[in-house]
């Protein structure tokens, strides 16, 4: 299990870099769970990240 915690606002490009890093790690650790925990939002928001290892396409659902 991997988790990244966000306590302060960060730039969108930094957030994109975090997503890319987790995506690369997901290709190495295929059975692991990855979480991006954002403490800066007030409501509960759950997004599922889809990583397709065969053609290396990545998306946020």
DSSP-derived secondary structure letter, 4: E
What per-residue confidence (pLDDT) applies to 61?
46
Domain ranges across the chain: 2-60
Higher-scoring residue by pLDDT: 56, 12: 12
What per-residue confidence (pLDDT) applies to 3?
83
pLDDT value at 1 more than 50: yes
Q: Where are the alpha helices (DSSP H) in 1-61?
A: 12-28
pLDDT value at 13 more than 50: yes
Measure the CA–CA gap between 53 and 28, rounded to whole angstroms: 10
SS3 37: strand
Average pLDDT, the chain: 77
Average pLDDT over residues 33-50: 76
């Amino acid at each position: 299990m991997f988790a990244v915690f966000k306590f302060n606002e960060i730039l969108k490009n930094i957030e994109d870099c975090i997503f890319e890093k987790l995506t690369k790690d997901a290709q190495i650790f295929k059975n692991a769970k990855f979480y991006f925990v954002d403490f800066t939002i007030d409501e509960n928001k759950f997004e599922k990240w889809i990583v397709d290892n065969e053609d290396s396409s990545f998306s946020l659902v």
